[in-house]
Amino acid sequence: MTRLLFLTGPGGAGTTTLAAATALRAAAGGHRVLLLGVADAGELAAVLGASGVSGDGNVLDIDDIDDDLDLDLDLGQGQGDGGGGVPAARRATLANLTVRRFDPAAATETALVDIAKLLSGPLAAAGLSAPDATELGPVPGLPDILALREIATAVASEQWDTVVVDGPPLKAALAMLAWPETAAAALRRVRPIEGQAARALRPLLAGLVGLPSPFTMVTQWTDDAAAEIAAVRMALVHPGSVVRIVGSSSAAAQPLLQATPTLLALHGLRADTGTLADVPRVPEEPLGLAALEAFGEAVYAGSEDGDPGPGLADPPEPAMLTDGDGYRYDLPLPGVERDQLGLVRSGDELVVSIEVPGVAAHRRAFPLPAALRRCRIASARITDGVLRVGFKPDESLWPERFLTDHSEDTQNGDR
């Protein structure tokens, strides 16, 4: 199982430095490691010891970022291991390490070209010309979606044992990590509508020989989008994934730092705030491989075998339980405050929102299990960091014989 460590923190907290130190530590332990900067404008190269950055004489130069966005590490071929050469241990570490920079501008340009091609078919069928990719302009949130897809592809490739992501600052990272659930909820609303329309118009469209069906194209697009969202979601929530939060002493950052575990749990993501809680402070920023190796050793000295990776654990997910003559739907939300919480039922979904001062409200629509769709909300309370929503069977939706014994439905959730 490929482990995923997504590092983020308030601006200036040293996230990039810690991401580099974490990746080097994992690589030194024999793991094949990908260090991926998704909001990087050259910081990773500088932190690792690029040309022009002072080091200790044994720091390797990092060449300019090449066309495929990989950093080319110069291993000093032809030099001995002494003097100005590369120590054998460090050479072994770097052999396990790949450093890659995700370029949001280039990825967005490619994606807009693909979107223009996708639109060309339905527009041509309607007698309209397709827009040029440059005319589509910036699409809000698209760079975040493409960055998440890059992360999911890396995790699914099985090319690496550990993927370390140098994420954007905390506020932006939370918005990025919320995208899969937000997009999935939007698709759940779109797909039934277009599916019904396609079925209704299929006989008519079948009689128009040679006319492309826009509904078929929309259906294919939503199916592809749902598959990509599921892949991203799987990468973020599997038991080897964790969002590691880098702390800050800034008073202004404390409200968001305190709310972060709650916001991540809302989206079903594991938060790791303890590992880096006591990061040793050093008088100078660790720059170059030797300094980063020493820093990583100090940071992870207390972990098992010095391994910086997360332990395997299931992500926080809701659970349905029987509760007297009804049901209870438990949603883990550690640290949530009552005045931050919003709860509303929308059709067959339970929409939970959390508001933090200075941060856009985070919402997640939870599709209700089949049994709860035939129930009404009877109560809601917060107990030990868990939102417990009570449901009672709605007599108008339940057959009478099930009202007296619905335990089997509870066990099978989708009946």
The yes-or-no verdict on residue 415 having pLDDT over 50 is no
C-alpha 224/C-alpha 16 separation (Å) is: 33
Of 252, 272, 306, which residue is a domain's last?
Answer: 306
Whether residues 124 and 222 fall in one domain: yes
Per-residue pLDDT, 139: 66
Strands in 112-196 per DSSP E: 162-166
What band does 377 get if pLDDT is binned at 50, 70 and 90? very high
pLDDT (tens digit, 9 = 90+) per residue, 155-201?
998 889 999 999 999 999 999 998 888 888 777 776 655 455 454 44
Whether residues 98 and 232 fall in one domain: yes
Q: Which two tokens stand for residue 153?
A: 């592809």
Whether residues 302 and 359 fall in one domain: no
Spatial CA neighbour of 84 closest among 99, 70, 74: 74
Cβ neighbour number for residue 52 with a 10 Å cutoff: 8
Of 256, 272, 306, which residue is a domain's last?
Answer: 306
Q: Is the dihedral of CA 171, 265, 145, 38 positive or negative?
A: positive
Residue 96, domain CATH: 3.40.50.300
Cβ neighbour number for residue 162 with a 10 Å cutoff: 26
Q: Does residue 367 lie in a domain region?
A: yes
Q: Is 393 exposed, middle or buried (0-12, 13-18, 19+ CB in 10 A)?
A: buried
The yes-or-no verdict on residue 63 having pLDDT over 50 is no
Q: Which two tokens stand for residue 413?
A: 């959730």
pLDDT (tens digit, 9 = 90+) per residue, 397-414?
665 554 455 444 444 444
Spatial CA neighbour of 213 closest among 201, 222, 225, 200: 201
Lowest average pLDDT, out of 54-58, 128-132, 157-161, goes to 54-58
Q: What residues have CB less than 8 Å from 270, skipping those under 6 apart?
A: 237, 241, 242, 243, 264, 310, 313, 315, 316
Domain region containing 52: 3-306
Spatial CA neighbour of 264 closest among 237, 239, 246: 237
Whether residues 147 and 292 fall in one domain: yes
What band does 251 get if pLDDT is binned at 50, 70 and 90? confident
Lowest average pLDDT, out of 26-30, 99-103, 130-134, 342-346, goes to 130-134
Rama region for 305: left / alpha / beta (φ>0; ψ in -120 to 50; rest): left
Per-residue pLDDT, 56: 32
DSSP 59: P
Q: Which two tokens stand for residue 167?
A: 């994420």
Whether residues 325 and 301 fall in one domain: no
Strand 375-383 with 386-393, pairing: antiparallel
Q: Does residue 314 lie in a domain region?
A: no
Per-residue pLDDT, 71: 41
C-alpha 384/C-alpha 407 separation (Å) is: 26
Phi, psi angles (nearest 5°) of residue 229:
-60, -40
- Local structure of 242: helix, strand or coil: strand
Mean pLDDT score of the chain: 75
Whether residues 251 and 103 fall in one domain: yes
Per-residue pLDDT, 242: 92
Per-residue pLDDT, 180: 86
Residue 331, domain CATH: 2.60.40.790
The yes-or-no verdict on residue 113 having pLDDT over 50 is yes
If you count them, how many residues does the chain have?
A: 415
Q: Does residue 312 lie in a domain region?
A: no
Q: Does residue 406 lie in a domain region?
A: yes
DSSP 157: T
Of 306, 338, 371, which residue is a domain's last?
Answer: 306
Per-residue pLDDT, 412: 46
Whether residues 330 and 256 fall in one domain: no
C-alpha 9/C-alpha 247 separation (Å) is: 6
Per-residue pLDDT, 70: 39
DSSP 283: S
C-alpha 256/C-alpha 61 separation (Å) is: 37
Whether residues 194 and 325 fall in one domain: no
Helices H / strands E in the chain, number of each = 14, 13
For residues 60 and 49, is the Cβ–Cβ distance under 8 A?
A: yes
Q: Does residue 96 lie in a domain region?
A: yes
Whether residues 107 and 186 fall in one domain: yes
Q: Please give the tally of structural domains in the chain.
A: 2
Q: Does residue 13 lie in a domain region?
A: yes
Lowest average pLDDT, out of 13-17, 286-290, 335-339, goes to 286-290
Q: How far apart are the first and last CA of the chain?
A: 33
What band does 60 get if pLDDT is binned at 50, 70 and 90? very low
Q: Does residue 313 lie in a domain region?
A: no
The yes-or-no verdict on residue 73 having pLDDT over 50 is no
Whether residues 98 and 209 fall in one domain: yes
Lowest average pLDDT, out of 58-62, 113-117, 214-218, goes to 58-62
Whether residues 228 and 279 fall in one domain: yes
pLDDT (tens digit, 9 = 90+) per residue, 263-295?
999 999 998 866 555 566 666 778 778 888 888
Q: Does residue 274 lie in a domain region?
A: yes
Whether residues 50 and 158 fall in one domain: yes
**Residue 205: its H or E element:** helix 179-207
pTM, rounded to two decimals: 0.78
Spatial CA neighbour of 217 closest among 233, 197, 188, 231: 197
